[in-house]
Amino acid sequence: MVSAIIEKTMIIKYFILFLAKQIKRFLQLLNLSGGTAFPGLLVEKMYPQILDDIAMNFSKKIILISGTNGKTSTTNTLVNIFENSEISVISNYSGSNLKRGVISAYLDSLNNFGQFIGQNSVMVLEIDEGVLPQISEKIKPDTIILLNLFRDQLDRYGEIENIRNTWINTLAKDMFINSKLIVNADDFLLSDIADSFQGEVLHFGIDDQLLSEKKENRITEVSYCYCGNKIIHSVRYYDHIGKWQCSVCENKRKTPDVLATNISLSNNGIKFNLISNKDSRFFVASSLGLFSVYNTVAAFAALIKLGLDAEQISQAFDANHQIFGRQEIFDINDRKINLFLVKNPAGLNQVIDSLIHEQHQKINLLFALNSRIEDGKDVSWIYDADFESLALNIGNLVVSGERRHDLALRFTIAGVNNFDIQENIKKSLSSIISKSEQGSNIYLLLTYSAMMDYRKYIAKISGSKPFWHKLTNE
């Protein structure tokens, strides 16, 4: 009797997984979507124990990446390095980072009958900050990477203290004693999380006095230590990120185990020395901005801790790859269309600094702002970002998206008086292309839902791959 019940349960389980697998293939075949969420939602509702299956099947081969900014870039960097090292990877590399996205990614490790075939695979998952506690408790990852914490989507998360406290309460549990935590030493908000973690901790960061933030008027997320006294920075790279210590108590930045030094930022990419265990290597990457340095160092730190050879990792970094919606480049009408995801003041300021760094000519810019659930309903964050620095470097500007009039007002306040307001994707792209010279770069700053919509349209008219395809060497 018991065995019959078990057998029936297994049949139902495999049928659900089979159905979800076929739906995912169907959606991709018809170019309707990438099947990055809906099949996972179906399984989540019909077979809630699915995360237990993931934990059992992948055992100690799960890496979770979380933080406010840089999750997708760091995830894709790890995926590409594993693949270049001929290691099979299962990942939600397009950025679907809620539970349904994790489950949809897991479907790629199953055969058409719902049976697990990914025994030799590593699972690398980008995880939304809000669901990291519940997912990490369920699947018990081997490695957790925490990149940073910034104010983001207040209607979803509340203040950053809410996320931080939840992370501390979860990651301090004994169940993670055999896990590894890779954490940004330069982010004050992550220090207590690392201190309370029961397992092995490895810190990463950067050390370059010349990169200290020059714009003192920018709003920062954190000013005070938990003892109530002021946090001081000997070097502040951006926002609250830097070499910090409390002005009174003993709380201070840990010395990074893996760090980047001698950093060079330019319009052509990043260069830096990466130091780990007395081993120093020179890195060159086509990605832009200081945030890209942090993402690269975080990925390297995780790979070293996982036991990969440093030389092997270095060679893999040389393989040029694009990352979905993050500095992707498309060619349209002899113009280079550059996509940047923006969603909070700290991230946008870093993108702004990257765009105007060593810029010798005015930039062509399309900015689309939406306020859907996935973007955050509250768009007041645009007033905390440094539009004034951006305004000084704009040649041609088009604003679009559902909240285009909010953007228009913000640019007007910043001192931009000549721009075009367009209501949809086709008209806005056509406008900025017509205003830009042949051979020039056009930069698209897009909130999440806008990025998804614009990328789908751009991929279609440029003949590029749909977003659920791997983007390596696209």
Stretch 200-209: mean pLDDT, rounded?
A: 91
Domain boundary residue, one of 126, 141, 156: 141
292 is a domain residue: no
Burial class (CB in 10 A: 0-12, 13-18, 19+), 5: exposed
In the chain, the amino acid numbered 216 is E
Rounded mean pLDDT of the chain? 84
Region label for 70, one of left (φ > 0), alpha (ψ between -120 and 50) or beta (otherwise): left
Please give the pLDDT value at position 5. 53
349 is a domain residue: yes
303 is a domain residue: no
Q: Roughly what angle, to the nearest 10 degrees, separates helices 132-139 and 99-106?
A: 40
Please say if the pLDDT value at position 14 is more than 90. Answer: no
Quickly state the pLDDT bin for 2 (edges 50, 70, 90). Answer: very low
Please say if the pLDDT value at position 472 is more than 60. Answer: no
Please say if the pLDDT value at position 402 is more than 90. Answer: yes
Please give the pLDDT value at position 353. 85
Per-residue pLDDT tens for 50-69? Answer: 999 899 888 778 999 999 88
Domain boundary residue, one of 95, 120, 141: 141
Quickly state the pLDDT bin for 302 (edges 50, 70, 90). Answer: confident
Q: What is the domain count for the chain?
A: 2
Q: Residue 464 and residue 449: Cα distance in Å, rounded?
A: 19
Stretch 265-287: mean pLDDT, rounded?
A: 78
39 is a domain residue: yes
Please give the pLDDT value at position 9. 66
242 is a domain residue: no
Please say if the pLDDT value at position 405 is more than 70. Answer: yes
Domain that holds residue 10: 1-141
130 is a domain residue: yes
Please say if the pLDDT value at position 39 is more than 70. Answer: yes
Residue 275 CB-half CA count within 13 A: 13
Q: Which DSSP symbol is given to 419?
A: -
Bridge partners of 389?
none
Please give the pLDDT value at position 407. 95
Stretch 226-242: mean pLDDT, rounded?
A: 86
Per-residue pLDDT tens for 17-32? Answer: 888 888 887 777 766 5
Quickly state the pLDDT bin for 473 (edges 50, 70, 90). Answer: very low
Please say if the pLDDT value at position 474 is more than 50. Answer: no
Stretch 301-314: mean pLDDT, rounded?
A: 75
Kindly report the number of other CB atoms within 10 A of residue 19's CB atom: 15
Kindly report the number of other CB atoms within 10 A of residue 332's CB atom: 14
Domain boundary residue, one of 123, 141, 159: 141
Please give the pLDDT value at position 63. 94
Please say if the pLDDT value at position 328 is more than 70. Answer: yes
pTM: 0.86
Bridge partners of 65?
126, 145
Residue 205 CB-half CA count within 13 A: 25
Q: Which DSSP symbol is given to 442?
A: E
94 is a domain residue: yes
Per-residue pLDDT tens for 124-180? Answer: 999 988 899 999 999 999 999 999 988 766 556 667 788 888 999 999 999 999 999
180 is a domain residue: no
